[in-house]
Amino acid sequence: MAETIQGVLEVNGRRGGYVRDPELSFAATPDDVWVAPTLVSRFGLVAGATVAGTVRAGKKGRELATVDTICGLTPDEFQARTPFERLTAISPDRRFPLGEVETVSMRVVDLIAPLGRGSRALIVAPPKAGKTQLLEELAGAIRTVAPAARIIALLIDERPEEVTHFRRAVPVEVLASSNDETLESHVHLAEMTMAHV
């Protein structure tokens, strides 16, 4: 029986790429599956796309043999979609009622910087100011008021123990590059996350 995989495509300069695991914050591993340039061009694959398919043994290791779905769509549906660059930007219009959650910090966020579906937020503060705790509360509050929402938390240059705590405390997708990793690792994760979402 053929092995099946699912992961996020990282395209390299030669137009081929690798299927990376979001659970590992897109870090390269020896087990990553190669995606040949012919598959990338045949199916119109783009960096950051979630790809599922079957794997076969190749010349240099495991490689993707077939593409079953791309971003949850069949290959034909994916190729027929409007490319991201041509989509019309729409401002978030369905608000998360964070003030309904019984914490003062969420009431303040709701008054000062209301968030809606599709919002992207950046918290900038000096070390030990509580930004990770605020992000935890924010993710938990959104999970409470909108259980079906997809929440992705990108943590860059955090202490490893804070990353572990965040993953255990909040039921959301956590992508992290802790402060014991290189600047290149931080940039790679940020670029892959932006391509993925």
Reported as a single tens digit per residue, the pLDDT across 80-123 is 998 888 988 888 889 999 999 889 999 999 999 999 988 887 88
Looking at residue 145, its pLDDT comes to 94
CA distance 135 to 152: 11
CATH says 3-86 is which class? mainly beta
What is the widest separation between alpha-carbon atoms in the chain?
Answer: 58
Going by their DSSP bridges, the two strands 3-11 and 50-58 should be labelled as antiparallel
Residue 54 has pLDDT above 90, yes or no: yes
pTM above 0.75, yes or no: yes
Counting residues of the chain whose pLDDT is more than 90, the rounded percentage is 52
12 — pLDDT class (breaks 50, 70, 90): confident
Looking at residue 95, its pLDDT comes to 92
Q: Region 59-84: what's the mean pLDDT? A: 91
Q: What is the DSSP string of 101-125?
A: SS-HHHHHHHHHS--BTT-------
128 — pLDDT class (breaks 50, 70, 90): confident
Domain boundaries, the chain: 3-86, 120-196
Looking at residue 73, its pLDDT comes to 93
Burial (CB < 10 A; 0-12, 13-18, 19+), residue 152, is: middle
